[in-house]
Amino acid sequence: MFDGRDPIYVQIADQIRQDVLRGDLQPEEQVMSTTQYATTFRINPATAAKAFAQLVDDGILYKRRGVGMFVAPGAPDRLRAEGRETFFAESVDPVADHARALGIPLEDVIARLRAHAARTAGAEQDGAAS
């Protein structure tokens, strides 16, 4: 955990964003305090606090004085909207570039994406059934 190339506080913030996006953290749900987070993951508390401060600035979390920090009501939508932007810019565009470089028609790429999505959906249904 936290062994990416980004500063650790960025990685912590990303981790929490992912949790919110996946629904592991629901709106209005209380999140770990920075001190709990620091001791649980053996991270410097100042580093953890920096990550949480960034999330508060970005409107993903909000503080309730004396109680703790909570996921903001609109956080998932906000993250999805932001995620959409960066997804196309950082993930889709390079795929298109790469495909062109390799001479793969865009239709093949799309077909592949559809097949993959169908497989994943099927697996999820199986998982839900069992």
Partner 1 sequence: MSAPLGVEARGLGVRYGRKVALGGVDVAIPAGSITGLLGRNGSGKTTLASVAAAFRRPTSGAVLVGGEDPWENEDLLPRVLLVRESGDVLDVETLRTNLRFVEDCRPAFSREVAERLMDRFELDPDAKPQKLSRGQKSAFGIVLGIASRADLTILDEVHLGLDAPSRYAFYDALLEDYVEHPRTIVLSSHLIGEIERLVEHVVVLDHGRVLLAQDADALRVTGVSVTGPAREVERFVVGRTVLGRQQLGGTAQATVLAALADGEAAAARAAGLDLGPVPLQDLFVHLTADGAADAARELGRAR
Contacting positions for partner 1 (CB under 8 A): 2-9, 35, 38-39, 41-47, 90, 94, 97-98
What angle, 0 to 180 degrees and rounded to 10, lies between the N-to-C axes of helices 34-41 and 45-57?
A: 130
Asked if residues 94 and 50 have their Cβ atoms less than 8 Å apart, the reply is no
Closest distance of CB 35 from partner 1, Å: 4
Q: Which is nearer to partner 1, 91 or 130 (CB)?
A: 91
Closest distance of CB 24 from partner 1, Å: 22
- Residue written as tokens 């196309």? 88
Listing from the earlier edge strand, what are the strands of the sheet with 68-71?
30-31, 68-71, 61-64
Closest distance of CB 115 from partner 1, Å: 25
- Residue written as tokens 């497989």? 119
Q: Which is nearer to partner 1, 25 or 38 (CB)?
A: 38
Closest distance of CB 46 from partner 1, Å: 5
Q: Which is nearer to partner 1, 30 or 120 (CB)?
A: 30
Strands 30-31 and 68-71, bridge-based pairing: antiparallel
Q: Which is nearer to partner 1, 14 or 27 (CB)?
A: 14
CA angle 60/121/102 to nearest 5° reads 90
Phi, psi (deg, nearest 5) at residue 78: -60, -45
